[in-house]
Chain A
Amino acid sequence: MKKTKQDTDNQELSDSSSSDSESLEVKRIVVIPGEVIVSGEDYLPSEGTKRIGQNVVASRYGLAEIAGRVIRVIPLFGAFIPRRGNVVIGRVTDITFAGWLIDIDTATSGFLPLDECPRFINKDEMDQFLAIGDVVAAKIWNIKTKGIDLSLRSRGLGKLEGGYMFRVIPARVPRIIGKEGSMITLIKEKTGCDVTIGQNGWIWIRGESIDEEIRARKAIEHIAEQVFVSGLTDHMEEWFTKN
């Protein structure tokens, strides 16, 4: 158990594309909760890991990334856990006197206050801006125990009209966006579609034609399945020539 690194049933892979530009050796192995990733005082346990005595132990199921001294676990499955600054896509479920209630697939519902809208809205005409059932892209700006506050005051946020929406596993969203948005830029370029990705796994696409929209969706679903491919952006360039 001590030398998990050498365990034969662990698949290993060094990935240079997702590491920082420094030539750090990055190693990825599949871990389950309670499994010792590495042992030694030198290592720094990060997200999804815990230090127990000499060992760094995984507390989640996923890919353990050993980048130099830093150990973290990249989750691949599970529900969306909201973080401040996340852009999410949700549906309006209710209108109150002070704002809108928005379902964003979290344990506590999202609230979009009137004064977090980009322009002035008369309280009597709130449903003309966002009606119940409308889909909106918003940013999480505060998380409290009793709710999540949303905001529209940022670029690219607001009501989503036309196009269509589908869902992927939220944990795969970072891969779909790519390093500094490289992957999503590629998809937009190749398909000419307008794509908005919510960290909660909801993805909205609007394109010139339905064919291009379907192509973009297929590309995104393909990426979500490729967990183990390194240099995924190059892989997708090739995928687009074939599909």
Chain B
Amino acid sequence: MTKEFKRLDGRANNELRPVMAKVGVIPNADGSAIFAFGDTVAIAAVYGPRQLHPQHMQNPQKAYLRCNYDLLSFSVSDRKKPGPNRRAQEISKVTEWALSPVIDLDGFPSTVIDVQIYILQADAGTRTAGINAASMALAHAGIPMRDLVCSVAAGKQDKTIVVDLSKEEEDFEEGEGATDFALAKVANSDEFTLLQLDGKISPETVPEVLSVVTEVCKEIYKIQKKALKEAIKNGSN
């Protein structure tokens, strides 16, 4: 690269948007959390372990982690028609896959752990914000877990690897075209639980992306940890 690359909002290539995280935002839920990457805001509520209906879905060996991700109708500038669509179903499913490796599902046979994720405001990276919120909410609900899950999207602006893209950056079509690479990682190990690539990236650059994301995830983990610890310090519910 000859030219010095500069991001639209002046961030460094490995810099996150301002992050906000808090747990215990929904008193009626067993666990809840809110997580924001800049203008992307996700809220997650956890209920259970509780009875699973329909009964034929019950697994006598382990609990079923049921995630439901959705955009609220006012979260995007063109009103989103309420209710699940193909995109929401897919993201719900990958969220389940991203979170289930860290949760001790064997402890609660024949039950369901419900995770509701809603996007209050969307500005790219909603699934990653949702996974971060859900991971905190699951911990807050007292579910036995191996670790937390941290999630962030990486991408390319022409040839430069950047993390946590905003909507403007995600639509950046110049050079090699728009690339959006959503990842989720188990905080204290090298396991990745979500890799979703939209766009083009060469196989040689993938390890580089993973190492950048690993560093960024440490930051996210710190924020999640702080939010969880402060909830008890304040003695709130």
Q: Taking beta carbons and an 8 Å cutoff, which residues of A are in contact with B?
A: 1, 9-11, 30, 32-35, 48, 59-63, 75-79, 81, 106-109, 145-146, 169, 171, 224-228
Contact = CB atoms under 8 A, between A and B. Distances in A.
9 contacts: A32-B229, A33-B147, A76-B232, A79-B141, A107-B52, A107-B110, A109-B51, A227-B232, A228-B233
Contacts of B187: 34
Contacts of A59: 104, 144-146
Nearest to B138: A33
Interface in B172-207: 187-188
Contacts of B84: none
Interface residues of B, number: 39
B146 A228 contact: no
Nearest to B142: A78
Given A107-B51, A108-B110, A225-B236, A77 B31 contact: yes
B228 interface: yes
Contact of A226 (B48, B102, B141, B235): B235
Nearest to B47: A79
A76 B145 CA distance: 15
Contacts of B140: 61, 77
A107 B49 contact: yes
A61 B146 CA distance: 11
Contacts of B50: 79, 106-107
A224 B141 CA distance: 16
B225 interface: yes
B237 interface: yes
Contacts of A35: 225
A145 B110 contact: yes
Given A33-B145, A35-B225, A77-B140, 12 more contacts: A9-B229, A30-B228, A33-B139, A33-B148, A60-B142, A62-B142, A76-B142, A78-B31, A79-B141, A107-B50, A107-B108, A224-B237
Nearest to A103: B51
B18 interface: no
A10 B30 contact: no
B145 A78 contact: no
B120 interface: no
A75 B144 CA distance: 10
Contact of B48 (A30, A63, A107): A107
B82 to A, nearest CB: 28
B116 interface: no
B111 interface: yes
Contacts of B112: 107
Given A33-B147, A34-B148, A228-B235, A61 B142 contact: yes
B147 A34 contact: yes
Given A108-B51, A108-B110, A32 B144 contact: no
Interface string B88-121: 0000000000000010100011111000000000
B226 interface: yes
Interface string B33-47: 000000000000001
Contact of B232 (A34, A63, A224): A63
A146 B147 CA distance: 30
Contacts of B60: 145
A79 B51 CA distance: 12
Nearest to A172: B237
Contacts of B109: 145
A1 B188 CA distance: 10
B209 interface: no
Nearest to B113: A79
B143 interface: yes
A37 B49 CA distance: 26
A31 to B, nearest CB: 9
A59 B148 CA distance: 10
B148 A32 contact: yes
Contacts of B146: 33-34, 59
Given A9-B229, A32-B139, A61-B228, A79 B30 contact: yes
Contacts of B108: 107
Q: Which 4 A-B pairs have the closest CB atoms?
A: A78-B142, A34-B147, A33-B145, A107-B111
Contact of A228 (B48, B147, B232): B232
Given A107-B49, A145-B60, A145-B110, A77 B229 contact: no
A112 to B, nearest CB: 17
